[in-house]
Amino acid sequence: MYKIKIITVGKTKEAWLDEAMAEFLKRLKPTAEIEFHLAKDNAQLEAWVKKEPGVICLDPKGKLMDSEEFSKFLLECLQKGGSRLTFVIGGPEGLPESLKKSPLVSFSPMTFTHQMARLILIEQIYRAFEIAKGTRYHK
């Protein structure tokens, strides 16, 4: 069982986001335990991230990957990290400077709300495991 933490800044305001996340968390349940941590600001985000051993940050200026590359990358990171990994999504002010030295992954050069970024991340994590398992989800 993989353990993945997702640390982000800000609250969930939208009911639809909670429903969408619940759907993907349910599908991920046999494979990975996903924990969400919502920091109130960048200072708290930095303090939390310092304690994490393996961290990947999402940033529009990070490395662009297709879903197959992200699948390989995710599995490699989990292997190196003893099945544990932490993703960080910056808030409205972007990522704190201190975190820009971590591996940066980009889903898109476009800017998304952090709510949308969370949903995209969780869908791509699910897709990544399905690609690795060779199921038909990603076709």
Contact (Cβ atoms closer than 8 angstroms) between residue 114 and residue 10: yes
Give how far Cα 37 sits from Cα of 12, 53, 109, 122, 133, Å. 11, 16, 25, 14, 28
Give how far Cα 3 sits from Cα of 16, 31, 63, Å. 25, 9, 23
Does 17 bind its own copies (CB under 8 A)? Our answer is: yes
Nearer to its own copies, 1 or 15 (CB): 15
Nearer to its own copies, 45 or 125 (CB): 125
Does 14 bind its own copies (CB under 8 A)? Our answer is: yes
Stretch near its own copies under the rule CB under 8 A, chosen from 10-18, 33-41, 50-58, 83-91: 10-18
DSSP category for residue 56: E
Chain positions contacting its own copies, by CB under 8 A = 14-17, 19-20, 23, 60, 64-67, 70, 92, 107-113, 116, 119-120, 123-124, 127, 138-139
